[in-house]
Amino acid sequence: MHSFYSLDDFNDALKEIQILIGSSEENQNEIARYVTYNKAAIVLLCGKFESFLESFLEEYTFIITSNYTNVKLEENIKHHLTDVLISELEKKKDNKSTRIEIISKFSRLYSDTEVLCNDYSIDCRFSYGKHGEKEVKKLLKKFGLEEFANAETNKIFFSKFNSLNHLRNNILHEDSTPSLTHHDVNNHITEIRFFINSLCDYGQRRLLQLANI
């Protein structure tokens, strides 16, 4: 079973948010400080969650491309590597030496000769300015995790995540001060940690299934 470094990194990152929550609790009688700490914790939590997803998907995909040849890659992964190559070729089409390297990667990816593709670029970034349930599901599906993304057990999470993302957007873009307590922040952390642990468990099971094919 694989353990994901991205999960360890996220748990370490939570320590920063816990500092804010601790400061919030200590300043419950100082309304301006209390509100500020809670708002900062919400924004930071959303950022850490998105950073985790990008790191997890990059790590998950690298494990696959390091252990399975081009011939045995899942279609979703193969299509993603193709999309990234197309994007790279478009950017560097005027550079003759570079575009030859990219074209050779296309050839390797679809060759009948088995080769590893762990030197191929992966793009796990959120689309600029886009957040929320649709964007999370879009990323997961791109890497063959559609079953997890659409799981019935995640419907409650995404409902609460949409509320969290709404808070984040209001804080950042509307400069609003929502009614928010440190208990609310802790509840959001609990929901996100449960989702992240479930995703890692699913990823581990998926890798194990691939190993047994």
- Residue 28: count of CB within 10 angstroms of its CB: 12
* 1 neighbors 208 (Cβ within 8 angstroms): yes
* Residue 175 clears pLDDT 90, i.e. is over it: no
Sign of CA dihedral 18, 23, 27, 31: negative
* 149 neighbors 141 (Cβ within 8 angstroms): yes
Sign of CA dihedral 46, 48, 50, 56: negative
**pLDDT for residue 211:** 83
- Residue 146: count of CB within 10 angstroms of its CB: 13
Cβ neighbours of residue 29 closer than 8 Å, sequence gap 6 or more: none
**pLDDT for residue 98:** 87
pLDDT grade for 97, boundaries at 50, 70 and 90: confident
* Residue 102 clears pLDDT 90, i.e. is over it: yes
